[in-house]
Amino acid sequence: MKKTLSYIDSVHRDGTIWNIGVMLLLLAFPLTVAVAFGAAPDWGALAMGLIATAPMYWAVGVIETITFVPMLGAGGSYLSFVTGNISNLKLPCAINALEQKEVSASSEEGEIISTIAIATSSIVTTIIIIIGVICIVPLTPILEAPVLDPAFEQMLPALFGGLGVAFVSKNWKIAIAPVLLMLVLFIFVPALDSGTVGIMVPVSVLFTIAVSRILYKRGVL
């Protein structure tokens, strides 16, 4: 008799299959182009570039997996790591959906809600990109108007500010440590900018967990 997989087991099975499939497709395109046009890269230079940059991405990959999976759930994590833009888009969407239903990502209901939220975000993003590609030429003069520059610069701060207020208001004692850490780092370390968000978000999460545990042990929380 065939054994019926539980929901979470089916998520891991399907997630593994689709992630491996997407990885093969991503690798297949440059390889196909290289074969079709006879444009193989300089393998020595490629190896040197990987040696210089790959360890950083490995470290970030491990940290993001440990950090994001408990917040996104299994299904949401598989989908997020395939579609990308986790910290800027997928994570806020999932957290907001979980907050609205007052469930945890580790519960089966939370798993489903998180996955639906991230899937919806991915579909909406794809549709917007398609519309943007079609409309980019006629809309370019409007989008490049100087009067709109301040608005575009505040889009991400507005998004994370709204989420931040919701979380800080729940337990302001936990929020103090990561806010101070990020302020100190971004003020006194000029090399940090918007391009380092992918690294700093996991660092902030791990730092917050450590500080929260210390405060809990001391009876502050």
In tens, the pLDDT along 129-141 reads 899 889 888 888 8
Residue 218 in tokens: 């001391």
Rounded to two decimals, the pTM is 0.64
| C-alpha to C-alpha distance for 39 and 182, rounded to whole angstroms | 44
**Distances in whole angstroms, Cα of residue 49 to Cα of each of 23, 45, 111:** 20, 6, 38
CA–CA separation, 72 vs 170, rounded Å? 20
Q: What is the CA radius of gyration of the chain?
A: 21
The pLDDT tens digits of the residues spanning 40-82 come to 878 888 888 888 777 777 777 777 788 788 888 888 889 888 8
What residue ranges do the domains of the chain occupy? 7-170, 171-221
Nearest to 167 by CA among 98, 216, 87, 213: 98
Which band of pLDDT confidence, cut at 50, 70 and 90, is reported for residue 195?
low
**pLDDT tops 80 at residue 88:** no
- What's the whole-number average pLDDT of the chain? 82
Angle at the Cα of 135 (from 130 to 139), degrees rounded to 5?
A: 140
Q: 190-212 burial, b if ≥16 CB within 10 A, otherwise e?
A: eeeeeeeeebbbbbbbeebeebb
95-104, 107-116, 148-157, 172-181: least confidently modelled range? 148-157
Residue 145 three-state SS: coil
| CB distance 94 to 72 below 8 Å | yes
